[in-house]
Amino acid sequence: MVNFIIRRLLLAMLVMLTVLTISFALTRLSGDLAVSIAGPQATAEDVAIIRKAYGLDRPEIVQFFDWARSVASGDLGRSYLYHTPVADLIANRLPVTLTLGLVGLCIALATAIPLGILAAMREGSLVDRGIMLIAVIGQAMPSFWLGLLLIIWLGLKLQWLPISGVDEWDGYVLPGIVLAFSAIPALMRLTRSGMVDALASDYVRTARAKGLSRVSIVLKHALRNAAMPVVAVAAVQLGFMLGGSIVIEAVFSLHGVGYLGWESISKNDFPVVQAVVLFLAALFIVLTLFADLLNAVLDPRLRTG
């Protein structure tokens, strides 16, 4: 087990290093950073000044190692635009994205698990087919469009919920619903297939033979066994949701990390862009590490692999 954890940690760090390199290379795609920062009206002198001020006149490889070293010591660089440390900017925006992600995950689990159980209990029936059809429809829904529709109907026509901003807790409800949509199909399918297997297993048959009630069999015996893989996948889904919340933050004007990334991209604030890419990747890596370790605890066969 210890060996497995060490292997997994090493792998996570290697992935982190690769993402570090990619996020650095990404911002160099435009060719000359200094020209991009200076903007279209800048003179050659302006560009030269900027190149010097930001240390862009040094060889790329020096810049890279400089950046990698400062990241390792916890310094993500300074924003060209706000002139504040990027780490502070991310820290300020993080609560919004994290809350949104968690609200979305809760809504997704609260929808996906009951529906998945219901589909498994009525396997092969029209109820089952109907629920799986919902999953297909959910997958086809463009999230930004769904967001706009909810804004028009729930926010504006019915005035149930605020349509943008998060001054109150209920500002998270609409974006949370939209974000949940992306995770519901996968979680629902997993719950369903786990429950189908569990319900067909020997211990459920034993429980039935003992005369336990249907509710008790499903919730106590079957669900407990089907739930653990769902938890592991939920962690990975949360990672995807935090990375993908950028579209939803844009639709609902939530000033989270994704919004920061989008803003910085359109304003050529490269230190922020590369730091946000790195940060979101790090979140994902930590969450998948958690999911892997959870799986290893549950299934000893994986530890040797």
Residues that bind another protein (CB under 8 A): 11, 14-15, 18-19, 22, 26-27, 29-30, 36, 123-124, 126, 128-129, 133, 136-137, 139-145, 148-149, 152, 156, 186, 189, 243-244, 246-247, 250, 258, 261-262, 265-266, 273, 276-277, 280-281, 284-285, 288
10 Å Cβ neighbour count for 178? 27
Question: In what helix (H) or strand (E) does residue 99 lie, and over which residues does it extend?
Answer: helix 86-121
- Calpha distance 107→104 (Å, rounded): 5
Q: 135 vs 223, which CB is nearer to another protein?
A: 135
Closest CB to another protein among residues 41, 266: 266
* Segment holding 121, helix H or strand E: helix 86-121
What crossing angle do the helices spanning 2-27 and 270-298 adopt, rounded to 10°?
160
Helix then strand then coil, in percent of the chain rounded to 5, is: 80, 0, 20
CB of 200 to another protein, least distance (A): 13
Closest distance to another protein from the beta carbon of 213 (Å): 26
Question: Shortest gap between Cβ of 212 and another protein (angstroms)?
Answer: 26
CB of 27 or CB of 99, closer to another protein: 27
Nearer to another protein, 148 or 154 (CB): 148
Give the residue carrying structure tokens 């950028």. Answer: 246
**Spatial separation of the C-alpha atoms in residues 294 and 12, rounded to whole Å:** 15
If the CB atoms of residues 157 and 214 are measured against another protein, the closer one turns out to be 157
